[in-house]
Every structure is written in structure tokens, then in C-alpha cells.
Structure 1
Amino acid sequence: MDVYQERDNFGTLGATVEEAKKRCEAVMDAVEALHLSLSCKRTLLRLIQSELSFLSRFSSTDFTPNSEPSICVNIGHLEAVVHILKHPNISGVPRVCKTILVPPSTQSGIHSTTSKGAHVDIVCTFDGSPVWFIVSDRNPKYVSWYGQQESSKKKGLRARVQLLLEVAHYSVTLKPTSLIFFFSNGLDGFTRQKFHSEFGAIDLGSKFSNFDFNFSEELGGEWIDILARSYHHASVLEIKVDSPRDVNPHVPKESLVAYSSVKASDVNLGGSFNTLLSQMISPYNGKLDGILINFDTTALIAIVSGISNGNTEKLLATPEDELKTRFKGNYEFVIGQVMSEIRNPIHMDIAKSISGRKAIICESVSSEFKELVSMCGGSNEKLRAGELLKHVVVVPDSPSTRMTSLPTTRKLAMKNKIVFGTGDHWHAPTLTANMGFVRAVLQTGMSLFTFEHRPRALTGD
């Protein structure tokens, strides 16, 4: 919970309590609509319910018209957390409103306060990078930079920032590239200046100024706002945890060698395939600038599959016995993909994820893809594979430290850690149908930037 609670003042104490109750109920509805894991939703709903239970202890008989509104409520903090979770650039949220503990193996020699960990409101991926959000809904005049140094319970904001940086530094799988502080009611000039001068903070306010948070309910067949809140005065500050990555922005030209020897004039690639490739930024001899996207093997297969490229009618017209012989135990799986493609062509969905991005694949994916296409692909699929590889850059297997620090298990196989970890290293989302691995990573508490696509199989087209 936010350690900086704001003293609400909506007139009488009774009005304050009733207004806060409405806000709790509205935020609960907003949480249910969020695309979050069940554990994250449960955490938020539990905190909101706790606040609502606290408010429900008061009755109208407790107040008089002249009551001084002196009750402290925390719903503003939870509103702000939900507001941030609705941001379109946030994904891969494994934890909300939790204390991040320092791994026992790293606690030797660190301060006792650091070893206890630090509260973080949101662990997620933001703009492709793992970050921690710390949220405050406190009135700026009650925010103290230095606090009361002699009191361990009343340390200022400066001490809290230092603690968070220490915990972030000692974290491994959960380590963020930056801490983002969201002050929903803004900051005074002195505190803002201290953020800049002592921690090199940069202002992110422009990335949060274009969307507001409001709650609505239906009355008489029409939706009306019952509680609307603007965050135009919010202060959003980012502090980098470490220096920027030192990576080589160039990849050897030999990585761009086309795989297929089939001439483009020999086979029709298909309109949607060509349109999809046109959405991707050219590799420019391997220079990795601009916005990246990482493909795993499932994504490459989905792009070149005959199912995705106009072969659905031919497959459905093939006798069932012949298809069962060809696909064996995967018959039902393939037919399901055919029906999915008829309802919703996959190239259109993938185009939304890759448009304006430069595609990368790691060496492991390149090898696996070539092998699968060679064994199972038809002439059209092989040609598409060759053309697709001309539009991607092959980078070395370079999984991030965060990913390699995860234990290798059946669900967290090393093969997948290399593929997704390479995307994480380049701060690029991984386009994948392997959501089992994604869920396993999120269950560890680590955020991961991914785009999901529906699976497709090679058909021998």
C-alpha cells in the first residue's frame, strides 16, 4: 500500500466516507476489466475490499454537520495504480502492490533495511523495458524529501528512493532497467529538483498526459460518469537503475544471407504474405536501429504456413483419410487452425504487431526454422521461408541475465530461455504462440514483453 496517504476533504466526514465507498466499488469494476493474471487481480481486489471494509465501519450516526473531516483513505492510491495499469505501453505484469525481497544469496554485507526489501506497486514491462512503478497519491505539501532522519518510521522520500535503488541493484530476475515514480497530485519544485540533481531523474509526464481515468455506470440506458479524475497535474519521473546497455548495433552481413535457392518467379508467394513483409522495416545490411521485434520459431512458421497463405480451401477439399495419414495425430489440431484462419486471417493480426518494426531472430531460432522447413515444408513454404529470412536480422544467442538467472525446469526450458532472453536483451518484444513458457516466466514474478499470435503448422504446401 502507498505509504503516502492523502487526507481527503470532500466536505463533511460522512460525505467523504460515502464518496470513498463509491470510488472503491468503481475501482473494483475497473480491475475486473483489466487484462491481468488472476493473482494480480486478487491482490488488487483484496486491497480494495480491505479499504471498503474499513469505510463500512462508519455509519451516518457517527457524524454531525460540523464534523471535521479527518479520516485518511487510501483509495486514491489504488485508483492511480489501476490508472497506470490501463496504459497502452504496459504489458507483462507479474506483480502488483508487493514487497520485492532481496535474494538470500546477495544479502551478505548489505544494510539490514535493504535486506527486508522494498514495496513496489507495479512490476511490468513499459516501452519494452522491465520497470518498477512506485505510486503516491499524497498531497505534495505533505511529501518530505529528507523526513525525520532520527525516526526510522518517518524517513523521507530520498531514503525511500535510495532503498529502492539498492533493492533493484541486488535483484536478479526481477531487476528493472529503471524506477518510475508516479505522483498523481504532482510535486513541489524543491522535491522535483532533488530528483533531478541527486538521482538524474528524467520527466516522463508526456507519456502519461493523454489518457484520463474515469468510472461510469449505466442509468436509464445511458452511460454517465459518476467519478472522473484527471491526472494532468501528475509528476512522472524515471530513474535509471544502471547505465544503458553497451551493445553492438551492427550484425555481420553474412547473417543476412537468404536461405532459399528457389527463384521468386517459380512460385506465387501470395498477396497477404507480400503485404506482411512490406510492413517490416528493411534490415539495412544488419544495422539494428529503430524499434525491434523478436520472432521465435512459432512466429516464423505461422507467417510462411500454407494455412496462413490461402491453402485452407484446398485442405478442406482433401479427403479426411488422406489428411489423417499426412498429419497423423495432429489432424484435429491442423483442422482447428484452418477454421481459425477462415474466421480471422492471421497475417492481419501479425501485421499489427510488426508494423514499423525491424525483425530479429537469434541463431538458435534460425537453425530450428530452417531445419523444420527443410523437413516438413512444401515448395511454397520453402520459398516464403527464404523471402522471410531476407527481411530479418540474425543476431547471436544472447539471453539476458534476468532470463538466464531463472531456474531451468520442464516449463522453463533452456531452449526457450535463449530465444526469449535474446529478445529481452535487445529490449524487443517476442512474437510467439508459446504462451505456456510466457505464463511460466510471469509466475516467477519476472516481467516479460511479448506479443501473442495463434499457432499455425507447416502443411507441405
Structure 2
Amino acid sequence: MEAKMEEAKRKCRSVEESVENNLKILNSSCKQTLLRLIRSELSFLSRFQSHNPSSPLSVNIGHLEAVVHILKQPCISGVSRVCKPIPQSSLIGNREKVGDNLKGVYVDIVCTFNGDPVWFIVSDRNPKYIYWHGNASCRNKGLKTRIENVLDAARSSISLRPTSVILFFSNGVEDDVSEGLRNDFAATDCHMDFSSFEFGFSEELEGEWVDILARSYERASVVEIKVEHLESSSSLCAKETLHGVTKPGISASREEKFGNYESFHSFVSLMDLSLINDKNLGPALLENSLSNLINFDTTALIAIVSGISNGGIEKLLATPESELRSRFKSNYDFVIAQVMSEVQNPIHMELGGVVSGKGGIICETVCSEFKELVSMCGGPNEKLRAKHLLEHLIVVPDSPSTRMMSLATTRKLALKNKVVFGTGDLWHAPTLSANMAFVRAVSQTGMSLLTIEHRPRALTGD
């Protein structure tokens, strides 16, 4: 018993260290939730021996280990909720549809999985004690009832609505449960490129040695249940918007110079331009929308064509401060910070890996806003680069997803941003943006959203 308890403590410390240092995809709220649960478990284990010396040891660290294991996988992004119930306020319809618990249903992870919003339910139980129809002796209603409640909640939700519910059984399931999942819910095996092993380290307080902790997930069973009757299915909604897609024409010469700086041309050439020349643009876009598109926000377009990003930093640094303050006024410090950021990390190099091999889309709102800003604030070279960039992007109609538009419009959740990010959400394309205030506001609602952050750049009149 003592050895098992000490092992559980070491696992707690290892998982805690992993959450604190290795899970960069978590927002502060999700991280604090996980750390609170881990530390609560560690506190329980520390009190257990003195208070319950003869009681059987029941621990939850295995479940938390499995949750963290999933969060580490590269196919997971946009994590918005961890180990919390979906609140009743996020669900619509009859209370009866979300089961007996008026607080909602418990979901282990709300996130984006390969571009799709999903809910994860995680189990670390011994397969022998996972009951399909329940067990009256232990007041267990059974896995079938729990899944029914989760699916009802998923269908009743708008803003948090997933395309599927994924069940992760870290120790596998027995045949009757597997058969029930297939027959009652049309569950299919979820072929994910998840690693089968998890390694952690636990250093003793004296620092004299380090214990290597290993966990195998070779027996894990992962199944996916599609949530039916979803209005926001991308293939259906996207077809309705394809008639408004603008197919650009490329007119700029490949040898054309853009303000004496060639990284811009190199950056644009990294994108997949095959869609632009495709004779049947609609089906090509639908095929690529699953994983091969990037949705550009206005901030991203400005950053790409900005004089700061295109060889203008030496000229700016050589300009007297008084002249720069006169030109940029209250934005002087903001612009200088961007110049120094560009010196350290050129943005074309940073974003090159993001857009490489991807097709670029922008919605009509972004297109018109970008043109207006460049017209008012851009210099001749910035205008030339903007024209060239637009010729390599596909303009799609403003078509925000239903779940995005279900969020209340507020100062932090402005309608324009809901349209821009929501259009990317509909196409299952991550939105490249510097607008992290909006991303945080969406995350605070519990919605998972696929986004890529970039550092801002301003137009300089270059």
C-alpha cells in the first residue's frame, strides 16, 4: 500500500511539472484547472496514510495522466475547457435533453482535433468495471446512459457544439462495451497518431536521483461518435457559399521587385497556388478546406506587406527620433517595438512555415478593410505588395459558422471579428491573426477555435 501511494505521489509531481512547463497550448484558465486537480490529488495522498491506514487506495491521477497525454498530441489545438462540465447556460432546449444533472454534462476536453471541434471523454478505469447498462449495486447508470446525455448536450449546444465526441479508454474496453458502442451509437475506431508511451520524471527532494516514470497506452481504445444533425457541417455549409467565391487573376511578373526586398516574393511563393488556377474552384476548395487552407485576418495581411517586414527597418532606425514621432505620433513606441521585433525574428521567416503548402483565403470583410487601410496609410511599395498578395488569395463570401454567431456580440466579441474568425471556422481553416484579445474572449466562452498567432506589424508609408 505504501509503495503504491508513493508511486501515485511521484506521478502527481511528474504530471504537475508537465502541465506547468510542457503544455503551451493551454490558456491560463485550463492550466489552473488541471493544476488545482493535480494538487488536490497530491494533498489527498499526503493525508491518506494517517487518516485511513487500512482503507483501499483509490486515486485519480491515472485519469489526469491520460488527459495530459491527449493534450500533448500534435493533432490537438484550440483547447478551451479541461475537466469541467458544459454549463447549462450553453445548452438549449428541454432540460430533460441534458440528463438529470441540471449543471450540464461533464466533458474532459473541449478542443479542436485536426481542424474539427470535438469533445473528449476520458476513462482510466479497469475495463472490468466499465458497465454498459449500469450496475445497481454501485449506483452506476452505465456508459450508455452517460453517452446519451453527452450526445443530447452536444446536439443542444450551439457555441460549443462539436462535430464528434471522442471516447478515450486508456486501459481498453471489454467486448460487450465495444459492441454496444458500435451498435447503439455507430462508433468507429478513431485512428489517431497518438504516441503509445508517456515518459515523466520525478526528482526526489534531496536531488540525489531522478525516478523515470513510464506509462503505456498500447491497450488504449479510442472511438469516435459523430454528432448527427449538425447544421454547421462544413461540407454542406461551404457548398452554399461557393457561388460567391472570387477567383483572382495573377498579373504581377515573377521578376517584379517589391521595395528592393525579395523575402516578400519568397514568402508568397511558399503558398499553394494550385487552387487559383483550378478550373473547378468549388470542389477544389471543399477538398482543401479539411486541412489545407489558411484564413487571413486583416492584421496578417498588413504584417506581410508592411515596410517593417520588407527591408524598411534600417531606414527607420536611421531616421531621427523627432521625425519618427512626428510621423507616427502616439504610435511611435508601438512601431519601434515592431522594428526591434523584426530585427530579432523576421516575420516572413516566422510565418513561412505556417503558410507553406497552404491555400490562402480571405472573407469579403477582410478584403475590403485591407484595401481601405492600404489606400489610406500605405506607401507606393506597400500598395504594390498588397495588390500582388491579393492576387494570390481566394476571396470567399462572409459566411461565419453558426456556433460563432451564436455568441453574444459585445465590445470584446465584436461582430466584424465574429464574421472573420467565423468564416475561417466554417471552412475548418485556422485564422492567422494578431488579434489575441478576441481569441481570449472566445476562449473564455468555452468555445474551441482554430487560430494561429502572429506578431503585429504596421504600415509605414513605404
Q: TM-score, normalised by structure 1?
A: 0.89
C-alpha distance in structure 2 between counterparts of 1:267 and 1:277, whole Å: 12
C-alpha distance in structure 2 between counterparts of 1:398 and 1:57, whole Å: 55
C-alpha distance in structure 2 between counterparts of 1:133 and 1:62, whole Å: 34
CA contact (8 A) 1:77 1:136 kept: yes
C-alpha distance in structure 1 between counterparts of 2:246 and 2:354, whole Å: 23
Residues 206 and 322 (structure 1), Cα distance of their counterparts in 2 relative to 1, 3 Å cut: same
- Provide the alpha-carbon RMSD of the alignment: 2.7
Residues 49 and 114 (structure 1), Cα distance of their counterparts in 2 relative to 1, 3 Å cut: closer
Amino acid aligned to 1:202 = T
Match of 2:423 in 1: 422
Residues 115 and 169 (structure 1), Cα distance of their counterparts in 2 relative to 1, 3 Å cut: farther
C-alpha distance in structure 2 between counterparts of 1:52 and 1:263, whole Å: 62
Aligned equivalent of 2:268, options 256, 263, 277: 277
**1:142-153 equivalences in 2 (<5 Å):** 142-148=129-135, 153=139
Match of 2:46 in 1: 56
Gapped runs of 5+ residues in structure 2? none
Match of 2:438 in 1: 437
Other structure's SS at 1:293 match? strand
Match of 1:5 in 2: none
CA contact (8 A) 1:262 1:383 kept: no
Q: Percent identity?
A: 58
Aligned equivalent of 1:16, options 4, 28, 31: 4
Other structure's SS at 2:88 match? coil
C-alpha distance in structure 1 between counterparts of 2:156 and 2:244, whole Å: 38
- Post-superposition Cα deviations, 1:242-280, rounded to whole Å, max 9, x if no partner, equal 354314458458713359989974655632212211221
C-alpha distance in structure 1 between counterparts of 2:207 and 2:37, whole Å: 31
Match of 1:336 in 2: 337
C-alpha distance in structure 1 between counterparts of 2:139 and 2:384, whole Å: 67
CA contact (8 A) 2:98 2:105 kept: no
Residues 429 and 211 (structure 1), Cα distance of their counterparts in 2 relative to 1, 3 Å cut: farther
How many residues of Structure 1 are paired with residues of Structure 2 in the alignment? 443
Match of 2:73 in 1: 87
Match of 1:235 in 2: 221
- Post-superposition Cα deviations, 1:143-165, rounded to whole Å, max 9, x if no partner, equal 111223x6893111111111100
Amino acid aligned to 1:192 = S
Verify: 1:132 aligned to 2:119, yes or no: yes
1:133 to partner: Cα distance: 0.8
Amino acid aligned to 2:112 = T
C-alpha distance in structure 2 between counterparts of 1:259 and 1:332, whole Å: 37
Residues 426 and 142 (structure 1), Cα distance of their counterparts in 2 relative to 1, 3 Å cut: same
1:54 to partner: Cα distance: 2.0
CA contact (8 A) 2:134 2:140 kept: yes
**1:4-403 equivalences in 2 (<5 Å):** 13-33=1-21, 34-35=23-24, 36-59=26-49, 70-103=56-89, 106-107=93-94, 110=97, 112-113=99-100, 115-148=102-135, 153-208=139-194, 210=195, 212-217=197-202, 226-242=212-228, 244-245=233-234, 246-248=236-238, 251=242, 255-257=246-248, 265=256, 267-268=258-259, 270-282=261-273, 283-284=275-276, 285=278, 286=281, 287-288=284-285, 289-290=287-288, 291-403=292-404
C-alpha distance in structure 2 between counterparts of 1:254 and 1:46, whole Å: 48
Other structure's SS at 2:461 match? coil
1:76 to partner: Cα distance: 0.2
Amino acid aligned to 1:230 = S
Amino acid aligned to 1:25 = R
- Post-superposition Cα deviations, 1:258-303, rounded to whole Å, max 9, x if no partner, equal 5998997465563221221122111234431321111100001111
Amino acid aligned to 2:173 = L
C-alpha distance in structure 2 between counterparts of 1:139 and 1:190, whole Å: 14
Other structure's SS at 1:113 match? coil
Gapped runs of 5+ residues in structure 1? 1-12
CA contact (8 A) 1:40 1:96 kept: yes
CA contact (8 A) 1:269 1:380 kept: no
- Post-superposition Cα deviations, 1:179-221, rounded to whole Å, max 9, x if no partner, equal 111111112233223222322222224421x363221246899
Residues 203 and 267 (structure 1), Cα distance of their counterparts in 2 relative to 1, 3 Å cut: same
Other structure's SS at 2:399 match? coil
Q: TM-score, normalised by structure 2?
A: 0.89
C-alpha distance in structure 2 between counterparts of 1:439 and 1:300, whole Å: 21
Structure 1 stretch displaced more, 115-124 or 440-449: 115-124
C-alpha distance in structure 2 between counterparts of 1:110 and 1:30, whole Å: 37
C-alpha distance in structure 1 between counterparts of 2:257 and 2:16, whole Å: 59
